[in-house]
Amino acid sequence: MVDSVAPHGLHHVTAIAEDPQRNVDFYTTVLGLRLVKRTVNFDAPDTYHLYYGDASGKPSTLLTFFPWPGAPTGKQGTGLTTATAFSVPPESLGWWQQRLQSLGVDADEPVAGADEEVLRLRDPDGLVIELVASDGDTRSGWDGVAAIPFDNAIRGLFSVTMTEQLLDPTAEMLAGLLGMRHGQDTTDGSRFVMSGGAQGTAVDVRPSNVSRGVQAAGTVHHIAFRAPDGETQAKWRLELIEAGVQVTEILDRQYFTSIYFREPGGVLLEIATDQPGFTIDEPLLELGQHLKLPPWLEPNREQIQATLPSLRVPPAPQSDD
């Protein structure tokens, strides 16, 4: 019986892009996130894996991408995570609306959600991003080189939205197997909340009769929840297996370890550890500046670098010393 599985928030969201340079330019320059790691997809090392987040890439602030040059455009629909929401200070939403408009970003007018005002936009691949006016978010965000005042900076992940043909099977996994609390119901669906606090802990599930989504550029590949450490992760894995869930082995992702499984509607879920984090292989001030490879891929560095397109990244922040 599952009795202790209880992720304490979102760890990261991983999506698919088409052009890596366009991806870096948008998320660092337009949205002002920090590129905290430039590495490769460990399962397909001829492809970048780019991580964006706050100053140090803390769990609950991370949006990551597999940019596959030439990838077709995906299709939103059921069985996919259809929106990734970030928290911003409530008074900054108007500033963000003006900024996005001035930069020609595809964005809607802010709308009132269940409890928050939301500004929805789409990145160059069509990935749906939401900026949520969230009061009381004490996360520091990234006060870096982008022309975004600290008072308006993105603080971190707020929530994800899963679109499903049927709500109940997914709800049973989230609340029954993953220890989430069933929160507020709306006309659009239901919110499930993890126990890690107010921010970066919500999963919205929206039932829909639209056709099944197609995963490609502009769609989410998977969402990851937080485990405090490897021992807890291993225990949760065994409990999920005992409950009949097909779960992968524990995989070494260099900056965390991971297990993967699917919820009944088809969305790929991950549970990732908070540690060791992104400074394990480069200093804090140099995060994202160099291509980093795990030890088992390092012998193939020359070959891997030859297959990857060149990438211009924002300069490292200057130390105050």
Query: Model pTM?
Result: 0.96
Q: From the first residue on, what is the mean pLDDT of each consecutive set of 10 residues in the chain (321 residues)?
A: 86 98 97 97 96 96 97 97 96 95 95 85 98 91 81 95 96 96 88 85 95 97 97 97 97 98 98 97 96 97 96 80 48
Q: Which residues contact 9 (CB under 8 A, 6 or more apart)?
A: 59, 60, 194, 196, 197, 199, 200, 201, 225, 226
Position 143 scores a pLDDT of 80
- Position 1 scores a pLDDT of 56
